Amino acid sequence: MLLTRRAAFGTLATLVAQAQQQPRPNIVWILGDDLGPQLGCYGHPLVHTPNADRLAAEGVRFTHCFTTAPVCSPSRSGWNTGVYQTTIGAHNHRSHRKDGYTLPDGVRLVSHRLKDAGYFTANVTQLTPELRVPGKTDFNFKVDKPFDGTHWRQRAAGQPFYAQINFTAPHKGPQWPLARKQAKLVDPAKVELPPYYPDHPTVRDEVANYLDAVNNWDRQLGVALDELKKDGLLDNTIIFVFGDNGRCLLRGKQWLYDAGTHVPLIVRWPGHLKPGTVRKDPVISLDITAATLDAAGIEHPKLFHGQSLFKKAKPRTEIFTARDRCDMTVDRIRAVRDARYKLIHNFYPERSYAQFNEYIKNSYPTLTVLQTLDKEGKLNELQKRWVAPTRPEFELYDHVADPHEVNNLAADPAHKKAFERLKKRLDQWITETNDQGRTAEPRAVLEAEEPRLNVVK
């Protein structure tokens, strides 16, 4: 028996030693700016996304992944550190660009933690001569040299790497007209509009153009995968594909409805994750950070809000999201979502949903349609809410029965227990995570950071 035990111990020690000698995986994050789950593998009928669909077939697809903010810079500030943007003072969109603000003690970029562990870190700026990538960071804090280089090919021989590839194709801007140059375009007449949109040609065209942009993003995703394959890297690389926030359509991006925070998450890791797996448990973008550290063998730091995706962890029962100032538009909104309900707390109910924002005014033609039709008396009661002068302080939705989140149950006695339970949890989360949004930005800071400031008095 003693010999058997020694032999077993020797075998175990050998296996451990062999495991420790295995090369660490390369890690690649492939982003889509303003990319919601409007992909073929998520059941959307009008898009053509073969590359994302293939990754989902070869890996794990998460059906309920949410970003912690509905706009890029606070969202990116969160999942690049693994800490809620509200905790680290990075919650206001495009803030701290002039004041030298740095991260609190103990909070660091995931790229810096990986660098310390021996990884080469890259923010890719050019995949091929024909495809340049913006190398977007958009952090709401100052940080020195977030990455080592601009391509994984710059690393030392045999060195593991971590790379971000930030595609902006779904984002409003010059890529939207380019998306319309594809051979196969989405027919606006076939677009299914949510009930809060009026059925108008301009609205249909905007939604169709967004889907065209998603198709163009998938083509770019295919280029990235081809380059990784060309370099023989696909077998020992864990690939995360996700969006930095939800779709850039009215009532999506910048808002805490699911359309603004629900994003795709697809993870491919050959030999480690079962192909074709579908995960329905709720996760947040900070969990991608946690899984990245796990894959590299790095312990989670003390101040950290992400949790492991593939190690044993208690499933999340709630998702917390936050929206604060976006450019010149001062606002504060918090939300908590569980398996059935979502509670939204509007801290400025005296303001309109449609308070002025230059980006939305210039980039979202659906808003102009709503404002025009409202003046003409052609909107129904649901559609008029967006341009009404005020909004409710609380919104409670049964998102299972009401996926568009239009039937506010906050004042309904039948849902009082759900309201009170979620309000208590949201208030607890604000306190527990030290939500910095409780302190308003001083007027002098606001005016210095945002000359176009729009403050409703």
Residue 422 and residue 33: Cα distance in Å, rounded?
Answer: 30
If one counts every other C-beta atom within 10 angstroms of the C-beta of residue 184, the result is 8
pTM of the shown model: 0.94
Q: What is the pLDDT of residue 12?
A: 40
Dihedral, 152, 156, 160, 163 alpha carbons, nearest 10: -20
Can you say whether residue 270 is alpha, beta or left, with left for phi > 0 and alpha for psi between -120 and 50 degrees?
beta
Of residues 17, 36, 457, 22, the one with CA closest to residue 236: 22
Opening angle at CA 162, ends 174 and 110, nearest 5:
90
pLDDT at 390 over 70: yes
Of residues 263, 208, 222, 232, the one with CA closest to residue 66: 263
pLDDT at 4 over 90: no
pLDDT at 3 over 80: no
Tell me: do 73 and 110 sit in the same domain: yes
pLDDT at 6 over 60: no
Tell me: do 109 and 253 sit in the same domain: yes
Query: What does DSSP assign to residue 149?
Result: B
Average pLDDT over residues 144-169: 98
CA distances from 317 to 161, 281, 282 (A): 33, 9, 7
101-153 per-position pLDDT tens digit: 999 999 999 999 999 999 999 999 999 999 999 999 999 999 999 999 999 99
What tokens were used for 333? Answer: 């909104």
Whether residue 171 lies inside any domain: the answer is yes
Dihedral, 352, 354, 359, 365 alpha carbons, nearest 10: 180
Whether residue 125 lies inside any domain: the answer is yes
If one counts every other C-beta atom within 10 angstroms of the C-beta of residue 279, the result is 17
314-364 per-position pLDDT tens digit: 999 999 999 999 999 999 999 999 999 999 999 999 999 999 999 999 999
Whether residue 30 lies inside any domain: the answer is yes
Tell me: do 103 and 128 sit in the same domain: yes
What tokens were used for 85? Answer: 């943007």
- Tell me which of 6-15, 37-46, 293-302, 442-451 is least confident: 6-15
Tell me: do 270 and 338 sit in the same domain: no
Residue 293 and residue 444: Cα distance in Å, rounded?
Answer: 39
Q: Which residues pair with 454 in a beta bridge?
A: 329
Strand positions, DSSP E, 142-300: 161-167, 237-243, 262-268, 277-279, 283-284
CA distances from 40 to 29, 49, 72, 169 (A): 20, 6, 24, 17
Confidence of residue 442 (pLDDT cuts 50, 70, 90): confident
243-285 per-position pLDDT tens digit: 999 999 999 999 999 999 999 999 999 999 999 999 999 999 9
pLDDT at 19 over 80: no
Residue 164 and residue 374: Cα distance in Å, rounded?
Answer: 43
Tell me: do 306 and 343 sit in the same domain: no
Q: Which residues pair with 387 in a beta bridge?
A: none
Chain CA centroid to CA 244, Å = 3
Average pLDDT over residues 19-36: 86
Average pLDDT, the chain: 94
Q: Which residues pair with 337 in a beta bridge?
A: 319, 342
Q: What is the pLDDT of residue 20?
A: 45
Confidence of residue 22 (pLDDT cuts 50, 70, 90): low
Residue 354 and residue 93: Cα distance in Å, rounded?
Answer: 17
Whether residue 374 lies inside any domain: the answer is no
Confidence of residue 365 (pLDDT cuts 50, 70, 90): very high
Question: Is residue 213 exposed (0-12), middle (13-18) or buried (19+ Cβ within 10 Å)?
Answer: buried
How many percent of the chain have pLDDT more than 70? 94
Q: What is the pLDDT of residue 367?
A: 98
Q: What is the pLDDT of residue 10?
A: 45
The 319-323 sheet, strands edge to edge: 319-323, 333-337, 341-346, 394-398
Concatenate the DSSP letters of all residues of 231-263 into one string: TT-GGGEEEEEEESSS-SSTTSTTS-SHHHHEE
Q: Which residues pair with 229 in a beta bridge?
A: none
Average pLDDT over residues 25-49: 98
pLDDT at 26 over 90: yes
pLDDT at 98 over 70: yes
Q: What is the pLDDT of residue 447?
A: 76
Q: Give phi and psi for 222, each to the nearest 5.
A: -60, -35
What tokens were used for 47? Answer: 């898009």
Whether residue 372 lies inside any domain: the answer is no
Average pLDDT over residues 55-81: 98
Whether residue 347 lies inside any domain: the answer is yes
The single-letter code of the amino acid at 251 is R
CA distances from 22 to 16, 156, 269 (A): 10, 18, 15
pLDDT at 376 over 90: yes
Average pLDDT over residues 232-238: 97
Whether residue 383 lies inside any domain: the answer is no
* Under 8 Å between Cβ of 370 and 376: no
Confidence of residue 17 (pLDDT cuts 50, 70, 90): very low
Whether residue 435 lies inside any domain: the answer is yes
Q: How many domains does the chain have?
A: 2
Confidence of residue 11 (pLDDT cuts 50, 70, 90): very low
Tell me: do 29 and 71 sit in the same domain: yes
Tell me: do 40 and 147 sit in the same domain: yes
Average pLDDT over residues 35-58: 98
Indicate which CATH number applies to the domain containing 124.
3.40.720.10
Concatenate the DSSP letters of all residues of 316-367 into one string: PS-EEEEE--BTTB---EEEEE-SSEEEEEES-TTS-TT---HHHHHH-HHH
Q: What is the pLDDT of residue 1?
A: 37
Domain span holding position 176: 24-316
- Tell me which of 14-28, 353-367, 424-438 is least confident: 14-28
Indicate which CATH number applies to the domain containing 343.
3.30.1120.10
